[in-house]
Amino acid sequence: MSNFKSGTKKEQILRAAEKIFAVKGFQDSTIIDIVREARVSEATLYEYFSSKEELLFSIPGDLTLNEKARLEFILEHVKSASGKIRAFIYHVLWFWETHPDYASVALIILKQNRNFIGTDTYKIIYDTFQILIPIIKEGIASGEFKKETNADLVLVMIVGTIEYLTVNKILHGAPADLIAYTDPITDQILGGIKL
């Protein structure tokens, strides 16, 4: 069997698990549910994943790594720190809006799992959000942002607001359009830190 075909089966299983976990939750989902959705055998699933928890922890993997690379590429082409913050906020809102099953798994299931914090995938997610810290510090150094701006606090305010809106959408169906919050969030944040 070629690597491409193996990668395809693994990806099929991951996307099926993502969908099942998003709909049924982690505890109520079974391996049988996942293999039916993926249209693979149980033996095939166990070729790639030793347990349901390992499967859960693997869901963000390549998807998160690819989005981190895409975000870094986008930010390289934005000139000001303010523009980079707006681009970051837009990209994260766009990502959650266009990946609702993944948003549900990441923000409802994985965020509450203490074992997940020790994984390599968690580190990728953490590092993705940390991209904002040097951007904020760049804005402080250039005089674009106030000297007393606390970069860590600004990061928490941005990520916390985005996650709050996204979880609300997952659980209650509102707001209908996450991307529409790009300018309001950005304007509120920049209003507090810009000179």
* pLDDT tens-place string over residues 126-166: 999 999 999 999 999 999 999 999 999 999 999 999 999 99
- CB-based contact 25:109 (threshold 8 Å): yes
Do 130 and 172 lie in one domain? The reply is: yes
Is the per-residue pLDDT at 6 higher than 80?
A: no
**Which burial class, exposed, middle or buried, applies to 14 when counting CB atoms under 10 A from its CB (0-12, 13-18, 19+)?**
buried
Q: Which of 85, 66, 78, 70 is nearest to 140 (CA)?
A: 85
Asked if residue 15 and residue 96 are part of one domain, the reply reads no
Q: What is residue 7's predicted lDDT score, i.e. its pLDDT? A: 59
Residue 166 belongs to domain with CATH number: 1.10.357.10
Same domain for 84 and 150, yes or no, is: yes
- Give the confidence band of 1 by pLDDT, cuts at 50, 70, 90: very low
Domain of residue 102 covers 61-193
Same domain, 44 and 80: no
CA–CA separation, 15 vs 9, rounded Å? 10
* Same domain? 33 vs 72: no
Q: For the segment 29-79, what is each residue's pLDDT rounded down to a tens digit?
A: 999 999 999 999 999 999 999 999 999 999 998 888 899 999 999 999 999
Instruction: Choose the final residue of a domain: 11, 27, 56.
Output: 56
Same domain, 65 and 35: no
Nearest alpha carbon to residue 78 among 138, 128, 127, 126: 138
